[in-house]
Amino acid sequence: MAYVELSAVTNFTFLEGASHAEELVEMAERLGHRAIAIADRNTLAGIARAHEACATLNLPLVVGCRLAFRDGCEVLVFPTDRNAYGNLCELLTLGRRRAPKGECWLDYPDLAKHGAGLIAVAFAPDLIDSSWSAKADHPRVSWVGKLVDGRPAPTMTIQGLALDRQFVQPPSITLIVPVV
């Protein structure tokens, strides 16, 4: 069975990633992985070094980014072409410009606006308890409400663990929700 790590973080994801992009690529190749995806949090800083290392080892690189939103939700995104990569760069620039140095402030409507051509992988929260429900004051419900803003929008209901969850999927973004 082939394995590809889709959410490797480099040392550009401060306080989480410890390895240089080149080290991650070399280890993936040694372990027999067919490719590697670098997905640092709110940055593409590790991509250039990973691209160079992958080219040397002839290992395919999947360009990715882990977007952390201000409400605590996170989504992995993968651009599907050059235009989508440009959209991702614009999204990250927007988040960095509105935040203090070293931070990136993103909201879900930003992804909806700049997400054309991105494949998005949604994460379930780390802890699911009774507070994660369809309450009007819940952050994820308001997250959806800000995007919908009174207009009809496609929705996807996900049966998960013990609770139902609902996400809004902008038509230009492919949403993948892993089943745990």
Structure tokens at 51: 């691209």
Give the predicted TM-score (pTM) of the model.
0.71
The stretches in the chain having pLDDT less than 70 are 1, 123-180
Tally of CB atoms within 10 A around 122? 17
Residue 55 phi, psi (nearest 5): -65, -40
Residue 56: its pLDDT value, please?
96
> 5-126+171-176 adopts what CATH topology?
TIM Barrel (3.20.20)
pLDDT tens profile 40-77? 999 999 999 999 999 999 999 999 999 999 888 888 89
DSSP 130-180: TTSS--TTSHHHHHHHHHHTTS---EEEEEETTEEEEEE--TTSEEE----
Q: For residue range 23-32, what is the model confidence (pLDDT) as tens digits?
A: 999 999 999 9
Which pLDDT score, from 0 to 100, does residue 95 have?
A: 97
